[in-house]
Amino acid sequence: MRVLGVDPGLTRCGVAVVDGGTGHRATLVHVGVVRTAVDDEPGVRLAQVHAAVEALVAEHRPDVVAVERVFAQHNVRSVMGTAQAAGIVMLVAAQAGVRLAMHTPSEVKAAVTGSGRADKDQVGTMVARILGLAEAPRPADASDAVALALCQLWRGRATSRLTAAAHAAGAAQAARPARPAVVAPRSRPR
């Protein structure tokens, strides 16, 4: 099984492709970070995340895309960018007809380290150990993406509730040319 793990973010979006399965050692195929400039408009930044994740899906052809489930943070601005980036990843998976799985941060930490309260250094250390790497992928967003992919390999039952028909509809939609959205004109108050 091949999993594309995505740690969503608008400034840094960690991405990793991992192969593995029952009785097979997990192998790192690709790891990196999609970066966007904070000075760019949000729409431009989301388009960059979309293009990068779409290219990864086309190149690596994952069986599943695993994305971190967004949770409430104290910094609303930060959580908005994270949620928007996660939505873009979900869109790319649906358009490509690839299964989607979502995992909470504590679920990922528990899968990789044995503790849902592990810190980023512990996650990175275990990712390196599991994959036989000399050191953890950097920055932490990349290491977190690998951990997401590993979590999906080991806890794969948590795939989305999308049916095969929904995946087929997403693939069919991706094959059709895009149509601009129709927006009804607003009447002006007199």
pLDDT range class, residue 28, cuts 50, 70, 90: very high
Q: Is 107 marked active-site? A: no
- Among the residue ranges 40-49, 136-145, 157-166, the one predicted with the least confidence is 157-166
Q: Is 141 marked active-site? A: yes
Q: Is 59 marked active-site? A: no
Catalytic residue among 19, 54, 68, 144: 68
Task: Give CB contacts under 8 A, 24+ apart, made by 136-142.
Answer: 137/16, 137/31, 139/12, 139/14, 139/33, 140/14, 141/7, 141/9, 141/12, 141/13, 141/14, 141/33, 142/7, 142/14, 142/15, 142/16, 142/31, 142/32, 142/33
Q: So what's the pLDDT on residue 55? A: 98
pLDDT exceeds 80 at position 176: no
| Percent of the chain's residues with pLDDT above 70 | 80
8 Å CB contact between 152 and 67: no
Q: So what's the pLDDT on residue 175? A: 53
DSSP 138: S
Please name the residues in contact with 100: beta carbons below 8 A apart, sequence gap of 6 or more: 64, 65, 66, 67, 90, 93, 94, 159, 160, 162
Q: What is the rounded average pLDDT for all residues in the chain? A: 86
Catalytic residue among 19, 54, 141, 144: 141
Q: What is the pLDDT of residues 30-69, one digit of tens each?
A: 999 999 999 999 999 999 999 999 999 999 999 999 999 9
